[in-house]
Amino acid sequence: DVKVTQSSRYLVKRTGEKVFLECVQDMDHENMFWYRQDPGLGLRLIYFSYDVKMKEKGDIPEGYSVSREKKERFSLILESASTNQTSMYLCASKIAGATAYEQYFGPGTRLTVT
Amino acid sequence: SQQGEEDPQALSIQEGENATMNCSYKTSINNLQWYRQNSGRGLVHLILIRSNEREKHSGRLRVTLDTSKKSSSLLITASRAADTASYFCATDANMYSGGGADGLTFGKGTHLIIQP
């Protein structure tokens, strides 16, 4: 079974802190994604990566950066956390090549910024 | 902007009844996927239907796709309490194509409650 794990289920940070959210997948998937999920807004794509050291902006990249130094790990970085970044963050991975493959999701990290 | 929009936003039915959720989208697609999310958890893939398919079945799930109307429906037959979850449709979004990593655009979801 594909497994996508996220470093924390719940996280509480203060405004202005630098926050790292880690995601690891064990199926050698080339593509990895970060989404945030907010009530009434659904899932919105923040960043994605199609290979090591490669990244592309999604719908809402402002205030975020990402790092993919190893194939299995994709990190989301909040450079200076703000209260409007309080949200559920979901990581996903998939096989490269086409959209006709499912995305596998991690359990999510619920981040609260106070 | 959202590509897929589910309807209804919320649905409550009795156990054993059938549940139908609809999804509408705006631009042409290669395929459409449905995902389920249990409360506070990650999403789980249910089924994928390609643009040249009209109907697909998987266990108690039946998905239809009408590309002329840009809409899809998900039918869950003989519902069970464990089907209580949020259901999302997702379409491939051309604007996210980068190096072969084609992203998905998700709708806002239908929250389904199965009453015992």
Residue with the larger pLDDT of the pair A59 and B58: B58
* pLDDT at residue A79 tops 70: yes
* pLDDT at residue B41 tops 90: no
What is the average pLDDT value for chain B, to the nearest integer? 88
Whether residue A51 and residue B99 make contact (CB cut-off 8 A), yes or no, is yes
Q: What is the pLDDT of residues A14-73, one digit of tens each?
A: 999 999 999 999 999 999 999 999 988 888 999 999 889 999 998 899 999 999 999 999
Chain B residues with at least one Cβ partner in A under 8 Å: 2, 30-31, 33, 35, 40-45, 48, 50, 88, 92, 96, 98-109
Most A CBs within 10 Å: which of B24, B43, B88, as the mutation test of the A interface? B43
* pLDDT at residue B86 tops 90: yes
H helix and E strand count, chain B: 0, 11
User: Sign of the C-alpha dihedral, residues B63, A37, B95, B104?
Assistant: negative
- Only one residue has tokens 């096989």, namely A95
Which 8-state DSSP code applies to residue A13? E
- Tell me the Cα Rg of chain B: 14
> What per-residue confidence (pLDDT) applies to A99?
58
The Cα-based distances of A114 to A23, A34, A35, A77, A109 in angstroms read 23, 22, 21, 17, 16
Q: Helix or strand or coil: residue B81?
A: helix
pLDDT band at B1 (very low <50, low <70, confident <90, very high): very low
Q: What share of chain B is helix, strand, coil (3-state, %, to 5)?
A: 5, 55, 40
* pLDDT at residue A107 tops 90: yes
Determine how β-strand A31-38 pairs with β-strand A42-51. antiparallel
Residues B103, B43 contacting (CB under 8 angstroms):
no
> What per-residue confidence (pLDDT) applies to B107?
87
